[in-house]
A = this chain, B = another copy of it.
Amino acid sequence: MSKKLRLGMIGGGKGAFIGAIHRIAAQIDSEYELVCGAFSSNPDVSLESGKELGLNPARCYASFVELFEKEKLLPENERMQVVSIVTPNHVHFEPAKLAMQSGFHVILDKPMAFSLAEAKILKSVAEETGQRFCLTHTYTGYPMVKEAKQQIAAGKLGVITKIYVEYPQGWLSKLEESGDNKQAAWRTDPSKSGKGGCLGDIGTHAFNLAEYISGLKVTQINAAINTVVEGRKLDDDATVLLKFDNGASGILFATQVAAGEENNIKIRVYGQKGGLEWQQDDANSLVMKWIDQPRQVLRTGGAYLGNFAKHNTRTPGGHPEGYLEAFANLYRNFALTIQAELKQETPTEEMLDFTGVDDGVRGMAFIEQAIASGESNQKWMDFVV
């Protein structure tokens, strides 16, 4: 018998982008077997998508409601154990809530929900049901991001004073949503995306990365939120000045109108002893900078790395691991945690290292409060969750 976790999927039917990414992430490390899904709100598309994926047609459901109902009735050793929800933001809350209440662990694409209120409810449900919950903040899955976090936690940089995180994209430099770009369409549609456009799509990643790596929490914000492209219904450009709970300050910017930029999320953190820099375009390098010593370039696969980086790497140094492997690390750690608990074992700290409900709630708070700050004449607003 396979030890693989049985995975279901909501959304991710034919033509969807992120659904295919989730499936690859689930498969890379042989920890999951896709067994069922409700791949589309259109039952025909769901069935066709599932069949293309080689699924039993009986387990290609017409809706997530049906999925949970039917799967619950299957024998324990057959039924789905984890569900991945990869729908647009307005279809996060209901399926995630119902999934946990139906006894399934949940992997949910970010941002967590349509509103902060929904996110808080999801957190409660997770706590009440005891189901495991993973929010896929992909960039936390990179080995060198984990190394950065561990170096800071170990005090290598001293007290942190400055954090700069940026996420420039250029793909919405024009009014793409006026054409047939499906990705652009829902992400710029308030009825599907929620209050935040750029803020929700990529701003939350930047926010999460800053808190994840630094171990600090944002306490105050001062935001400038723009809709640069005429005719767009949501923000496409955000700058948020940050203050952190240890007194550090920083800048977050996320923009989708930096024409010609791809997806190079980047973070720099400085402390009293030194600084570090990581960016996705050179994802396997972590640059450590020192006041009076040569800068160092730590590399994925290096023998000198900490346990977190090593745990999240598949290949020796010099074999680039990328976005899909980072994504897969979230899936894998989530699986290892669940498998350990199925065996009544305590998951290790490496297994438990995946972003979850608290990240999700804070991310939703970030969207809403950044927008509120952007609309306000008040310079600094407390960031509260």
At the interface, yes or no: A261 with Cβ under 8 Å from chain B? yes
At the interface, yes or no: A270 with Cβ under 8 Å from chain B? yes
Pairwise interchain contact A162-B376, C-beta atoms closer than 8 A: no
Pairwise interchain contact A294-B289, C-beta atoms closer than 8 A: no
Chain B residue contacts of A193, Cβ below 8 A: none
At the interface, yes or no: A253 with Cβ under 8 Å from chain B? yes
Interface residues of A in 231-267 (CB under 8 A from B): 237, 239, 241, 249, 251, 253, 255, 257-264
Interface residues of A in 14-43 (CB under 8 A from B): 17, 20-21, 23-24, 27-30
Provide 9 A-B residue pairs closer than 8 Å at the C-beta atoms, listed in order of the A residue. A24-B29, A27-B27, A259-B290, A262-B301, A262-B317, A283-B320, A296-B296, A324-B325, A376-B379
At the interface, yes or no: A224 with Cβ under 8 Å from chain B? yes
Pairwise interchain contact A315-B323, C-beta atoms closer than 8 A: yes
Pairwise interchain contact B53-A30, C-beta atoms closer than 8 A: yes
Taking the closest CB of chain B, its distance from the CB of A207, in whole angstroms, is 16
Chain B residue contacts of A24, Cβ below 8 A: 28-29, 314
Q: How far is the CA of A253 from the CA of B164 in the complex (A)?
A: 10
Chain B residue contacts of A274, Cβ below 8 A: 259-260
Interface residues of A in 317-341 (CB under 8 A from B): 317-325
Q: How far is the CA of A271 from the CA of B229 in the complex (A)?
A: 11
Q: How far is the CA of A322 from the CA of B222 in the complex (A)?
A: 37
Q: How far is the CA of A374 from the CA of B42 in the complex (A)?
A: 54
At the interface, yes or no: A268 with Cβ under 8 Å from chain B? yes
Taking the closest CB of chain B, its distance from the CB of A257, in whole angstroms, is 6
Count copies of this chain in the complex.
Answer: 4
The contact string, 1 if C-beta is below 8 Å from chain B, for chain A 289-318, is: 111111111110111100000000011111
Pairwise interchain contact A321-B319, C-beta atoms closer than 8 A: no
Q: How far is the CA of A273 from the CA of B170 in the complex (A)?
A: 10
The verdict on A298 contacting B294 (CB below 8 Å), with A23-B30, A24-B28, A379-B222 known, is yes
Taking the closest CB of chain B, its distance from the CB of A384, in whole angstroms, is 19
Name the CB-closest residue of B to A161. Answer: B228
Q: How far is the CA of A226 from the CA of B249 in the complex (A)?
A: 9
Q: How far is the CA of A161 from the CA of B241 in the complex (A)?
A: 19
Q: How far is the CA of A222 from the CA of B251 in the complex (A)?
A: 13
A304 partner, pick from B161, B166, B280, B294, beta carbons under 8 A: B294
At the interface, yes or no: A174 with Cβ under 8 Å from chain B? yes
Chain B residue contacts of A318, Cβ below 8 A: 169, 261-264, 280-281
Taking the closest CB of chain B, its distance from the CB of A244, in whole angstroms, is 12
At the interface, yes or no: A215 with Cβ under 8 Å from chain B? no
At the interface, yes or no: A155 with Cβ under 8 Å from chain B? no
Taking the closest CB of chain B, its distance from the CB of A174, in whole angstroms, is 7
At the interface, yes or no: A54 with Cβ under 8 Å from chain B? yes
Pairwise interchain contact B251-A259, C-beta atoms closer than 8 A: no
